[in-house]
Structure 1
């Protein structure tokens, strides 16, 4: 068995990998948070699969090799360029269980019960990943469903050397058994903690994946897996039922479409707020009287003020359109409205944010993104999530996969407002079967009717701004893919009223000037972990890169 695992590992590592460098291919390219997953996707393309097939294989492999955020116990969003000029999306966001109520996380005094919306089984939303991957494949894939899961099953069954990033987390879980009781079996093989470089096998997950491989999404939402999952969640005082799983459906939706110069931009519609917010910001940027120099004080100040405007609207208006009417949506997406917002900006000093009538909510930062393109021009931009790292940190030992804590993306305390940015809008209050608002922002940018840029990132609310800035760096400043991804990023989300910047990436003089303009600054080690592909129509080459901030990320191409 171990010799087979070694052979599998060697085959996976037999491709070019270098963080922060561009990788080139003419036949296919996959960028993801796991080198194993990227290679799994590329293998599918080599075997005759298209970009959708490859994205499904990559996503299932991420569920094995990147449990931090890769999942079958969570949800996400997918933007697809079908290869014939059409762009569509799949929404497989998690949903609130049928027994949910708007005040389910409050005590008798109407106050939030600490941690209840993130650290308990009540925080688990009905998972959508398996449905989304299956439905996208059934409509747009071209090779057999079962073939797509072979590599993920092999890695789960025979194991792979545990990378340092996961090993550190496993050690921390092991040091806190009282705090993370449900993780203790997950991080061990035969009772022994798996350490760095040791083979980590997941036999329960392998069995689950084999059932899904054989029966498709039905195995997850109606069969023995579903009953085992419900029994486990309810044993932990959760409220998901068999009816919740049986009624879950992914939804194919029309994308948010906008134009910028000679480009067509396609993003996710609600309940992903990224498509709306990025469109608003691109509309504002496109009407600037003067384009600031990349990296200048004026550049960062302009970014901050544009972000401030978009995030105020995000907080005030956006939610699940299937449950809340969004009467302002057409206006929010218009260039005329963008001009109004732009006219309100002072380009010499920082604006102010106030919570008088704006309410926000807390959103986890640990998602994962993959970008895929094949030789036919089909492309996929997909972002998936468990909400926080390792989700709610619960798993049925019989099934072997971690569960999300996405209910924390709803408003836990309806109607309450403060300047800390912890509460959400009326459009995002909890309702049965409703999908929680998200910041995930997978995008495909087209030029001359073919994909030009496939981009996305994890990072909670920072996703929107990191994707926005990477699109700008590529479309406006003509940066290569790796430089667009690595360029210094900033983040402003209306509330809290501060400008976040990346450690070591901005000059002290720039930071001082921003403070003099009235910005309150906060440092963060990184913003986003982008995975991107840029296509050069003249040469026919795809140019892909994985963010150096992704510890195990990589690109596979040929």
Structure 2
């Protein structure tokens, strides 16, 4: 049945049906609440509206969630160039409703085979952030194209050529510049104009800025996408596209070779899983730290009456912060690429370990971070990431988070390709004990090695209830990804929020070091005062994350979409 929609005041892009059945009206009763978008058959929630519509159209044309997931990834490379990408990598959680199987697709970037542990140190042996962020050395071998092909091969119903057509058309015909895109290009002028090939694409011939409403054409990117459509991944990892990437990276003192490009492989991994109050939490395993630490923090909080204590009460925030600090301390010691180091996954996600953590938490006083050390266990990223979630008519689900690290990556476009290159090598520990760009401490487990994948906080997550998909979520946000996804889950399960309310609620974050409890605006001065009286160092900072989530309604089976209003271009689109 065709329905019309109207926006609810105070929740841009959060929609509620005007005409609905009595059952649906009951679900959406109470106009004082913020309502999610909803659809009966399929839902796509993404950080950029046009890409969300591409995914919706694929679903409507008969494609499944996996077909749509690949189409959205390539569309975002055109419409959200600061984070959507061909020149980066990421993680996709996929749930196959027919088999009941959930897998984690790892297409994280890899270090070139000539990489070495000390490649980012200066002559004095100190970490040189310029090398690891803004030169060719910063670029890892990109994985997005290989990852998308793996998803299509194993789960899709459409060909690479079919799912690429929307992105090719957008790049060749041009996209309408939004205020969000115009602002980001203005803010990153210095980084992008450093590279002539980048400046030629993202600024006008006279060097002036694109304005909202202008058309941005990316012809080189269209040609690159067409080669992938015609040749599959070989059109990216071998031949002229690969050679152009290698030439650009090496000209900027990087180390990627044609052999590195041809040798890239995506990996299908078993997810990390746990339980929380009767729900199954299924998330990304290493080289993501996200899944392990989301489950670790949930395990720690499970024995506290979080729902009774109240959403964002001082007591709830205190307990969350104390659990977060201990998880991030463990991250610094134990997490890395599982193909290179033994990660104590079972120990970190065990209920017994969580019980030990709780013994060290005082409900009345914050533990100083300097007193918190990584757990005594058996041996064993960027704000400008982007996430999207998809659930189709059959219950298949995709949670995908991918990135080029910083906004527009290193800023370098490989000439003739239209491909922005990542600076993900900064996610390695340039020197054990030294903070990366997000203040995260790394150890030997995340040291640079040839062919290794850098540790990431990206945390695409699927929550299951009675064997069925209940929630699909994820977010960008660098080190804050883990805590953002955590709070989406807590808001829905403990605080009984719908997905839109859970998404717009103010967020908090603590990552052990530095000693700061970061909060968004929206907490009362009284709450802040209580937290400070417990010993927390509280700072109100800019917004955190851009969560794009779906909840499947228990009774009706409706797909409820929550697009994060922290980013003005976010959208939920269903049918």
Question: What is aligned with 2:248?
Answer: 232
Q: TM-score, normalised by structure 1?
A: 0.93
Aligned pairs for 1:234-249 (under 5 A) are 234-249=250-265
Alpha carbons 1:51, 1:374 under 8 Å: kept: yes
Give me the whole-angstrom Cα distance separating, in 2, the residues matched to 1:114 and 1:372: 36
Determine if contact 1:20/1:547 at 8 Å carries over to the other structure: no
Q: 1:282-431 residue pairs with structure 2 within 5 A?
A: 282-288=298-304, 291-326=308-343, 328-354=344-370, 363-414=381-432, 421=439, 423-431=441-449
> Is the Cα–Cα contact under 8 Å of residues 185 and 397 in structure 1 kept in the other structure?
no
Q: CA deviation at 1:555?
A: 1.1
- More deviation, 509-518/202-211: 509-518
Q: CA deviation at 1:147?
A: 1.1
Deviation at 1:499, TM superposition (A): 0.2
Partner of 2:557: 540
CA distance in 2, matches of 1:369, 1:522: 26
2:41 to 27, 32, 47: 27
Asked if 1:52 corresponds to 2:66, the answer is yes
In the TM superposition, what is the alpha-carbon distance from 1:19 to its structure 2 partner? 2.8
Q: 1:128 aligns with which of 121, 143, 151?
A: 143
**Structure 1 residue 417 displacement after superposition:** 8.1
- Aligned position for 1:6: none
Alignment pair present for 1:104 and 2:125 = no
Whether contact under 8 Å (1:281, 1:306) holds in the other structure is: yes
Tell me if structure 1 keeps the 8 A contact 2:248–2:415: no
Counterpart Cα distance in 1 of 2:5 and 2:213: 20
Aligned partners of 2:330 and 2:373 also within 8 Å:
no
| 1:164 equivalent in alignment to 2:158 | no
Judging changes above 3 Å, is the alpha-carbon distance between structure 1 residues 376 and 16 closer, same or farther for their aligned structure 2 residues? farther
1:55-134 correspondence runs (5 A):
55-84=69-98, 85-134=100-149
Is 1:467 matched with 2:485?
A: yes
Helix, strand or coil for the counterpart of 1:272? coil
Counterparts in 2 of 1:337 and 1:204: CA distance versus 1, 3 Å:
same
Asked whether 1:449 is paired with 2:467, we answer: yes
Residue matched to 1:222 = 238
Say if 1:15 and 1:556, in contact at 8 Å, map to a contact too. Answer: no
Mean alpha-carbon deviation: is it higher for 106-115 or for 72-81?
106-115
The TM-score, its normalising length taken from structure 2, stands at: 0.90
Q: Distance in 2 between matches of 1:358 and 1:89?
A: 26
Instruction: State whether residues 93 and 105 of structure 2, in contact with CA within 8 Å, keep that contact through their aligned partners in structure 1.
Output: yes
Q: Is the 1:439–1:461 Cα contact (8 Å) retained in structure 2? A: yes
Kindly indicate whether residue 55 of structure 2 is the aligned counterpart of residue 41 of structure 1: yes
Alpha-carbon separation, structure 2, partners of 1:516 and 1:39: 48
**CA shift for structure 1 position 421:** 4.2
1:509 to 514, 521, 526: 526
Say which SS state the counterpart of residue 200 (structure 2) adopts: coil
Range with greater deviation from structure 2 (19-28 or 272-281): 19-28
Decide whether aligned partners of structure 1 residues 536 and 356 sit closer, same or farther in structure 2, where only a CA change above 3 A counts. Answer: closer
Cα distance in 2 for residues equivalent to 1:492 and 1:180? 36
Q: Which moved more, 1:514-523 or 1:273-282?
A: 514-523
Q: Which moved more, 1:280-289 or 1:429-438?
A: 280-289
Identify unmatched segments of 5+ residues in structure 1: 1-13
Give the distance between the partners of 1:417 and 1:392, measured in 2 at CA: 19
In structure 2, distance between residues paired with 1:313 and 1:425: 10
Give the 3 Å change call, closer, same or farther, for CA 252–409 of structure 1 in structure 2: same
Residue number in structure 2 paired with 1:495: 513
Tell me the alpha carbon deviations over residues 54-84 of structure 1, each in whole angstroms, 9 at most, x when there is no partner: 0111110000000010001000000011112
Conserved 8 A contact 2:332-2:441: no
Query: C-alpha separation between the residues in 2 aligned to 1:283 and 1:535?
Result: 24
Which residue among 483, 494, 499 is the counterpart of 1:481?
499
Distance 1:103 1:345, change over 3 A: same
Aligned residue for 1:78, secondary structure, equals strand
Deviation at 1:329, TM superposition (A): 2.3
Q: For the residues of structure 1 that align with 2:483 and 2:512, how far apart are their CA atoms?
A: 12
* Paired residues of 1:202 and 1:400 also in contact (CA < 8 A): yes
Counterparts of 2:357 and 2:191, CA distance in 1:
49
Tell me the number of residue pairs that the alignment of Structure 1 and Structure 2 aligns.
Answer: 539
Structure 1 residues 35-60: Cα deviation after superposition (integer angstroms, max 9, x where no partner): 00000001101111000000111110
Q: Is the 8 A contact 1:83 1:378 kept in 2?
A: yes
